[in-house]
Amino acid sequence: MALEAILAYLHLLAILTMVVFIASEAALCRIEWLNAKVVERLVRLDAIYAGAAVAVLATGVARTIWGVKGTAWYWTNPLLHIKLTLFVVVALLSIGPTRSYLRWRKRLRADGTLPTEAEVRKTRKLVMIEAHLIALVPLAAVFLARGFG
């Protein structure tokens, strides 16, 4: 029972970390706030966000393996597959902003130029889509935890 509680805690901590850092990206990725320091910070925030996403996946898998309900219960439940699909979609969407931040930093370090307004708006739109899709994952999770599916 203690292992289940620890796994649940670690999973929740990873989820909260992921949400905090995608929200930070959304807050900073605005043309009116963008400067050299913000570009550097976006790269760091995105790296932490990616690490948190890996931790979410790892702790989630750990819960299915070592948790009380076990793999047979989790992996046959369609709600888990919905959660994973949403997670993969968010992960795929996150590739765009990550590439943008790295490209912006490279250009900034090379010649001191910041991204255009169009680049920032496009990237921010993807970050906002990610953030909103992440909010749907707990919906599937609460139903999964209550035995639906």
The dihedrals phi and psi of 30, each to the nearest 5 degrees, come to -135, 140
pTM tops 0.85, yes or no: yes
Give residue-wise pLDDT tens across range 39-72: 999 999 999 999 999 999 999 999 999 998 889 9
- What value does the mean pLDDT of the chain take? 96
Distances (CA, A) of 90 to 52, 62, 84, 87: 13, 21, 10, 5
Looking at residue 24, what is its pLDDT? 98
Distances (CA, A) of 108 to 8, 53, 105: 41, 27, 5
**Mean per-residue pLDDT for 12-20?**
97
Residue 1 pLDDT grade (very low, low, confident, very high; cuts 50, 70, 90)? confident
What is the rounded CA–CA span in Å between residue 35 and residue 108?
A: 10
